[in-house]
Every structure is written in structure tokens, then in C-alpha cells.
A and B are shown apart, each in its own frame.
Chain A
Amino acid sequence: MRHTISVLVENKFGVLARIAGLFSARGYNIASLAVSETLEPAISYMTIIVEAKDEYVLEQIKKQLNKLIDVITVIDFTKKEHVDRELILVKVKYSAKDKVKLESILNKYLAKIIQHKADTAIIEVVGEQLQIKQLLEALGQFGIKELVRTGRVAMAY
């Protein structure tokens, strides 16, 4: 099962390697990882989506993360009210005759074309996982040529 964890860490070189190394050394899986600076430049914020087969594994992951000296706080969103969002870019085949159909899909999922040339369009959407999943399914009919995702970021209420 997938769980969303956020980790506040010291913004120093090598910290990402420590986190990534911990996951690989102990056989945990990272589904996605987003890292950036916070308002305080000395601290970075990581949102990690982890695969854990049960709550014991999840518990171990959190404890092991907490043991790292450079980790300041670990927040598990599993049982916490929170929002999460992901930004994706999708490149689809595009021709003028599809325009109406495509636009109605984009409107439905709050997505937009940010660039289009001759036969391709790049579409951007920021949203929840379900919304992204449904959008991708709907876009399937046009032929998806490329897909890039940022990974989720999360915030508690």
C-alpha cells in the first residue's frame, strides 16, 4: 500500500543520498520523491510516497528515517487530514479536428494546453491522483507520446 510521508531535513549536501540510501539498504520502495527548500533555507522539505506492505513496515520506515541525524521531523499523512497535489505534463497527438473533443476533456479535468505545434500539444494539469488518472485515461484516445510527473507534494491541515 502507498503512504505519503513528509520529511523535514537539514538542507546540506549528501542528505538526499542518506535518505535514498536508507530506503535501498533496507529494501523499502520509493514510489515518488519531491524535494525543495522551505521558507527557512537551512531546511528542505521532502514528500515521499512509499510502498509498505503493512503498518509495521511503515512504522519501521518512519523510525529509521527519524534515526538519521539530519532528519528533523517525519510526518505520516496516512491518518492525517491533508491535501496532496501533483503536476504532470503530457504530450499528445493533436490535430485540428480533435480540438473540440480535447478541449471538453481538458475543461472537465481543469487541464490546459500550454503549447502546441503542428501535430502535438503539451498539456499541463495540477491535481489529485484520481483526477490525473482519469485525465490520462481520457487522453489515451489521442495517443500519449510522453509523460512527466513531479511526484506528489502534501500538506497537512
Chain B
Amino acid sequence: MIGADILLECLKREGVQVMFGYPGGSVLPIFDKLYDSDIRFILTRHEQGAAHAADGYARATAKVGVCLATSGPGATNLTTGIANAYMDSIPIVAITGQVKTFLIGNDAFQEADITGVTRPITKHNYLVKQTKDLARVIREAFYIASSGRPGPVLIDIPVDVQQQDVEFIWPEEVDIRGYKPTLFGHPGQIKKAARLIAQSKKPLIYAGGGVITSGADQVLREFAEKIQAPVTMTLMGLGSFPGTHELSLGMLGMHGTAYANHAIMESDLIIAVGARFDDRVTGRLDAFAPYAKIIHIDIDPASISKNVKVDVPIVGDAKNILGELLEEIKKLADTTSWLKTIDAWKKKYPLKYNADGKIKPQYVIEQIYEATKGDAIITTEVGQNQMWACQWYKYTHPRSYISSGGLGTMGFGFPAAMGAKVGCPDRIVFDIAGDGSIQMNIQELATCVCNKINVKVAILNNGYLGMVRQWQELFYKKRYSYTTLYNPDFVKLAQSYGAVGIRVTKKEEVRPAIEKALAIDNTVFIDFHIEPEENVYPMVPAGEAINRMIGGMA
């Protein structure tokens, strides 16, 4: 079997049904074999789109996403998507072509040292120098990408390695002596945690993306209900606990709810599950959670005590550990008065906006929420659109909110929506976008139309790079330096690609436009001309304690 055949055979054995990518000189042998393969290949219009689509596919389906690009520029175009998956711990395998082995290091045409470039943004990467290693490397790559704390793995395959003919041997087992993720919590630590929980009168669960990765949402719900603790979620954790549940406090942090942030500051015990105390969550570190002891459950030992000192660390898989904790907890303190305090905060500081006659972005999202009955997969771009999507859509299931958390990649939402729709064709997939972000990967309109990937895009068009403008308004004396956008006609633009465009300039047109978009069997851009200078509130200025929220109506 030649290397290209081995690659496709291994991908099939790993359960790969779909790949996103772009051809080029150094992957021609692979593409020649793809021509006859039953793996579905989706030709994107830019390699970045392929990487984000693989990422969106992985987030929506819990499978490993796969993207493929040629050497040099093809490979470097993947890097933003790889870095994005790395920051959010998303399992993708990126396959790149490389110049022939004897040309490596010669500055050959379309040569880039992509294993060198991606070393700090992959969980692991490989340059395969011999075809006989290919099957083992692919097997290891899928195992590494999807186990432990997941992440992207890149496999760089020179052309001659794709062409060489060797005997195909499928490695039944993977054994990597330097890689053994810890899955079960230490029993002593679990006992310690259970004791703290039993004594806590003001417990608070802080749930992150790890809950979704480990499939721990059901057990998290049981756990929260049993110990009667409110649950706040990170951006990555939205959907890990139903946003409609009475114990839900929504998102915490810089643009979190006031009641979630107050709860952090008053709590006597924070139970962090699969979250990493990111600076957008903690605000000023020395003022974070002053009265709380902290239990931190995480599969990555390096996440523990990295930013915040933890009292009881438990390394392992969230689902296992929460299950073990449930068994261990017997008697509990009464949290009624704490829940009452929180209820009072919810009443006093609800999320709100000035619902006047103009098109408010919050209103648009509320309407999308109602029209889709809270059941859509929502992807977002980055900036105000993303924060409003966190605040105003209530996610009841894991893997229904897909957003670039750690890296904050503008241009992520549209190709990610594409990947999510390919993975979940029966779900409604809505990208909540800004007029800035959508233009960063707008070429994928062609991919959507050609492959009948019918995603809906709500462009919250304010003619600004809204989040940067908001910071300029609040912290730079309204000096709007290069944040005003001159935009194309998004309706005509969508039409020119063969998609459908709808423009909305009046509030009463909002809901009918959404209903219409949902009824159309095609990709639809809805261009909502929203109130241009609407801000995201509440907001904690960078470097402040997280209960020092400013602004607006909150």
C-alpha cells in the first residue's frame, strides 16, 4: 500500500467520515486517493476555514475533526485554526503535505517548517519521515487528540512518504510511555472535597468546558441538585448545565451576570469543574473569591494552581470524579439562606437592556432564541456579538454553544457553523456574527452553497468593530481609532454566492426575517442594522475585581 492509501485506510478505521481542506502540490497523492474514497471531503475556500470547520465539527459531534492542507502556505493558513483548537482543548487532527524528504531544509518551493511553527500551538505534532511509521503515527495522533485534555495534533507528511509502497500494518494498540492521562480522582482528595462540601453554607459550582468534554453534564446536574449549589459557567462551559434551571447563574466574568460575580465574591466554597481560572473570569486575582475555599477538578494537572491557589485539587476526568463525589457525600449543610441571597441578587441585578423602538442586538438574539425554541446550535464570532450570544440565548444542552473562547478568533463562527452543520445536519445552526468578524472568513459562503450546508448567519451590523469601539468609548475618550467599518451590501454579497440575503432595518421585521430564514432551504445572511453604539453590559474593566462591574442598565 502506498502512504496515501495507508492514510485514508487509517482515517477510516479511526471512524473519520468527513474532512475539510484544500488541495495543493504536496498533497496530490492523497487527493488522488480521495477521488475514489468514501470519506466525504469538503473543499473550503481557505485553509483557515477548513481548520475552523474541523473544530466546529468536533465541538458539535464530540468526534475528532480532520482538516487537510498542502505544504507551505496551505499549512501556515491552518495555524490560526490550530491555535484556536489548542486554546479551547478541541480534538482535531490536521494533516499537511510536506516537500520531499530529501528537499526538507533546502528552502524548497512551498516549504515551511510546520512542525516547528505549530510546536507551541499543538498538543503534539509529527513529521513522518518513513512510510512504515505512518499508521502508528495516525493511530497515536487520534489517541492523543481525543484523550486526556484534548487538543490539536498535526501530522506533516512529505510527498515521497505519501508515494512509497510498504506493507500496511494496523497497530491494534497505542502505547506511549510518556503519555498516560489520569482519569480517576485520588480517593483521599475526593474525601477531603466531600468534607468541605458537607460544611459549606455558600457553595458555588464553577463549570467550564471540561464538563462538556467529559460528558459530565448529567452528573453535574445531579450533583448541583443534591448539594443545592448554584452553578455559574464559563464561556466554554455554557450548555454544561441548563441555562433555564433555577440553580443556573449564567456566565461569570468580565461580561458575566452580576449575580454570578457577586456569588463568586461571597461564596465560602467554589467547586471548579473543568475550568481554568482564565483572566477574563477571575478579574483581579488577589481580590478573587476572598472568602472561598477552592476545590478544583481538572484532567490537566498543569491547570491546577496555575492562576489561583487551590485548597483541594483533584486530577482526573470530571464525569468520574463528580460521580465519585456524589457517592461520597452523605450529610450536607443547609444552603437555603444562600440561595435566597442569590435569588435577591437575580431580582435586583437582572440582565437587561433598554428595549426601545430601535433594533437592539439583545432583542435580535432573544428572538432567535424564541424562534429556534432554544434548540439551535449557536456559533459566534468574537466581540460584542459573542458576549450578547452568551447572555441572551439560554443553552440547555452541551455542544449547543460553539465559540472561540481562549484565542478569541474573529472569523471563527461562520466556518465553525459550517462544520457543526455537517456534523449535525438535522440541527438548526445559527452563526451570530458581527459585521467585522463575518468578513474574516466570508469566502466560505461558496463552500456552504456548493455543499448545501444550510447555515443561518445573523449579522449584528453596527458599522463598527463594536467591542474595540466600546473600549475606546469607555477607556480612550471616544477616540474611535480605525474601528468604523465601510461594509459591502451583505444581501447582494450573499446573493452573488447563490445564498439568500435579507436586510432588516426595523424592529418589527426582526422576527419575520428569522422565521423566513429558517424556512429557506439555503444558507441565509440576515443583515440586522442594529443600534450602532449599543454596549455590552455588565462589564468588569480589565484588572478590576469581578464585582466591580460598570455600566449601563445592569
Q: Is A140 an interface residue (CB 8 A)?
A: no
Q: Is A18 an interface residue (CB 8 A)?
A: yes
Question: How close is A68's CB to chain B, nearest CB, in angstroms?
Answer: 7
Report the Cα distance A10→B127, complex, angstroms.
15
Q: Is A56 an interface residue (CB 8 A)?
A: yes
Report the Cα distance A9→B179, complex, angstroms.
12
Say yes or no: B302 contacts A69, CB within 8 Å.
no
Give the interface residue-count category, chain B: 10 to 19
Report the Cα distance A14→B120, complex, angstroms.
12
Say yes or no: B178 contacts A70, CB within 8 Å.
yes
Say yes or no: A69 contacts B119, CB within 8 Å.
no
With A21-B120, A25-B120 known to touch, is A72 a contact of B177 (CB < 8 Å)? Answer: yes
Q: Is B355 an interface residue (CB 8 A)?
A: no
Report the Cα distance A127→B248, complex, angstroms.
62
Residues on A with C-beta less than 8 A from B301 are 63, 66
With A69-B124, A69-B179 known to touch, is A63 a contact of B302 (CB < 8 Å)? Answer: yes
Question: How close is B364's CB to chain A, nearest CB, in angstroms?
Answer: 40
Say yes or no: A68 contacts B305, CB within 8 Å.
no
| Interface residue ranges of B461-505 to A (CB < 8 Å) | none
Q: Is B123 an interface residue (CB 8 A)?
A: yes
Q: Is B13 an interface residue (CB 8 A)?
A: no
Q: Is A17 an interface residue (CB 8 A)?
A: yes
Residues on B with C-beta less than 8 A from A72 are 177-178
Residues on B with C-beta less than 8 A from A64 are 302
Report the Cα distance A104→B302, complex, angstroms.
51
- Give A62-79 as 1s and 0s: 1 = Cβ < 8 Å from B's Cβ atoms: 011011111110000000
Q: Is B324 an interface residue (CB 8 A)?
A: no
Report the Cα distance A14→B119, complex, angstroms.
9
| Interface residue ranges of B107-162 to A (CB < 8 Å) | 115-116, 119-120, 123-124, 127, 144
* Top-9 shortest CB links A-B: A63-B302, A69-B124, A72-B178, A25-B120, A69-B179, A63-B301, A71-B178, A21-B119, A64-B302
Residues of B participating in the A interface, judged by any CB pair closer than 8 Å: 115-116, 119-120, 123-124, 127, 144, 176-179, 300-302, 305-306, 309
15 contacts between A and B (CB under 8 A): A10-B178, A14-B115, A14-B119, A14-B127, A17-B116, A18-B119, A22-B120, A60-B302, A60-B306, A66-B301, A69-B144, A69-B176, A69-B179, A70-B178, A71-B178
19 A-B pairs besides A59-B305, A63-B301, A70-B178 with CB distance below 8 A are A9-B178, A10-B178, A13-B127, A14-B115, A14-B119, A14-B127, A17-B116, A21-B119, A25-B120, A56-B305, A56-B309, A66-B302, A67-B300, A67-B302, A69-B123, A69-B124, A69-B176, A69-B178, A71-B178
